[in-house]
Amino acid sequence: MNQLDFKGRHAVVTGGASGLGLGIAQRLIASGGSVTLWDLDGATAERAAASLGPQAHALAVDVAQQPSVAKAVAATVAHAGRIDALVNSAGITGPNTKLWDYPVDAWRQVMDVNLTGLFICCREVVPQMRTQKWGRIVNIASVAGKEGNPNASAYSASKAGVIALTKSLGKELADTGVRVNCVTPAAVKTAIFDQMTPEHISFMLSKIPMGRFGTVEEVAATVAWLCTEECSFATGATFDLSGGRSTY
């Protein structure tokens, strides 16, 4: 594992209790930093933080609710002193079905978590970063946001929104010390697969030229670098992690 320099920095990782979020938190701690895990499941987040050691803290947060996020920002700053990086990893897939059969309530839930929740987290954390004149925001999008997966219209649309939001916010903060980027993984085998049908999982694998799913460690390595001081000239950018599926 290459050594990245996140020494003395503190990151917030949403959806940090499991999956990509937990893997990213592990890599940031291994790089010398500390983390606060924000997760809707507070009990699981507490257990995850305990497993990571003294450099990890946990808070129960509903990213889709602005008061919950505002309270979490205040609590995190009170505990850690600052927020140097925000990794927006919280997300859900929604059902795998045709658009004309897609439940309206499920569409709204996917948008609330994947896009509105990410917007709220950025909105509440950016003022803190602007005050300290430094920060890194990394948004977890998806190759589905570029290509549009069939039977996943809400997920695909929400991740396309994440990419566009990243570009917009990156430009808004380009004259500051805050950098905003996103990553677009192809499928990475985590517990989120439990929300998908076997047919949809097989479809995703068939699209990857490398013939395998990505690993949590591979995504975490890129995200961790994007949180460091060395990521200084990239902002509003999209970094593919797709095994060759997406090449633009």
Instruction: Give residue for tokens 């996917």.
Output: 110
Nearest by Cα to 95 from 108, 85, 83: 108
Nearest by Cα to 186 from 208, 202, 166: 208
| The token pair that represents 237 in the structure block | 């950018």
Nearest by Cα to 40 from 104, 115, 91: 91
Question: Among 155, 213, 225, 239, which one carries the catalytic annotation?
Answer: 155
Nearest by Cα to 191 from 121, 89, 107: 89
Q: Which amino acid is at 190?
A: T
Distance CA 10, CA 183 (A): 20
Nearest by Cα to 19 from 204, 238, 219, 239: 219
Sign of CA dihedral 37, 41, 46, 51: negative
Residues in contact with 233: Cβ distance below 8 Å, sequence separation at least 6, in sequence order = none
Strand partners, 85: 11, 136
Distance CA 202, CA 167 (A): 31
Helix (H, G, I), strand (E, B) or coil at 62: coil
The question of whether 155 is a catalytic residue gets the answer: yes
By annotation, the residues acting in catalysis are 155
